[in-house]
Structure 1
């Protein structure tokens, strides 16, 4: 017997699928660091690098959730496909960061479910404003993530080629996603919204670095 799924059923199903991302799985693309040597890092450098990579891993969890939340309420099928395609590609970032964390003797943020659930809600709220606003949210998110990656690239120890290669590739992907959202009809977000996004990201960065 077929079952008629309510909106609540579909929401719980989507959240369940998203939380399944927290389980390790192979990346679709080769890790950019695969052929690079491991750096000899002093203990403070190793801890700081692990903290940065944990922030980036948490950021990818949040990005996945934002896209899933936006896709869940998208009105236009093309916009929904655009969001899900970006989320699919960024799964590679998630796995690369997790692999690097293991190499550094560390692991992902223990607050992953919180990052996912909160970001899904924010994404759905952004999507309800309309598809062009939703794409604007994607564009601004990717711009801010690119800024964070640039900051982390400056903070990495000079000899850490493996972490640097991962972050550079992520930076290229994020910039492309922002351009694609703009080309798809993104509407620029008002300054107060952009500033609120920065503040929320700042809270996540501090939490993920420590926990």
Structure 2
């Protein structure tokens, strides 16, 4: 997506600047989740799923990389990369069901996160930015639904893992909004 028609990211109100920082951090983590899956899984179906979704996440990340300046990005990007990779790798170790359940848990959170920004984005008035966030949210909802359509009844351990994934995503956003 082209960032040339966007207003300067430096003009963002403080609240939206934090949201965009967290969006960039989240898309960084997402790219690394799929890289973690691809590094570990040998399952052709899972690798195809991960490669397809990685391509989408890379487009989202590129949007934020192109638009935000270095000081507007989280200083914890190495942590978000590592966290994403570990999440993806652990999921892949668990196998097909773990990958799909993990992605569904992450994307369920991400959709709510993006949707929570709609009001502030519309009030801000940058139609290109608003459209991009809506598009990204729709992409993430597609990822969630694709993964959720594949999930089976999870074990207690997998339920606990998915809770940790959702809780960790929530905490990461809170931190990335600030630093």
Report the TM-score range of the alignment, normalised by the length of the smaller protein: 0.7 to 0.9
2:102 to 137, 144, 148: 137
1:125 to 80, 85, 90: 90
CA distance in 1, matches of 2:15, 2:65: 15
Distance 1:100 1:49, change over 3 A: farther
Unaligned runs of 5+ in 2: none
Aligned partners of 1:71 and 1:80 also within 8 Å: yes
Q: Could you say which residue in structure 1 is the equivalent of 2:160?
A: 192
1:58 CA displacement: 0.4
1:134 CA displacement: 0.8
Structure 1 range deviating more: 62-71 or 198-207: 198-207
Q: Could you say which residue in structure 2 is the equivalent of 1:205?
A: 173
Compute the RMSD of aligned alpha carbons: 2.5
Distance 1:114 1:34, change over 3 A: same
Unaligned runs of 5+ in 1: 1-29
Aligned partners of 1:133 and 1:187 also within 8 Å: no
Aligned partners of 1:127 and 1:134 also within 8 Å: yes
Q: What secondary structure sits across from 2:13 in the alignment?
A: helix
Q: Could you say which residue in structure 1 is the equivalent of 2:30?
A: 63
**Cα deviation 1:135-165 (Å, max 9, x = unaligned):** 1211221121111101122333512323211
1:77 to 44, 48, 58: 44
Aligned partners of 2:22 and 2:173 also within 8 Å: yes
1:89 to 43, 56, 59: 56
Aligned residues between the structures: 174
1:34 CA displacement: 5.4
Q: Could you say which residue in structure 2 is the equivalent of 1:174?
A: 140
1:173 CA displacement: 0.7
The answer to whether the aligner puts 1:48 opposite 2:48 as a matched pair is: no
Q: What secondary structure sits across from 1:156 in the alignment?
A: helix
Q: TM-score, normalised by structure 1?
A: 0.72
Q: Computing the radius of gyration over CA atoms, which structure comes out larger, 1 or 2?
A: 1
Structure whose residues are more often helix by fraction: 2
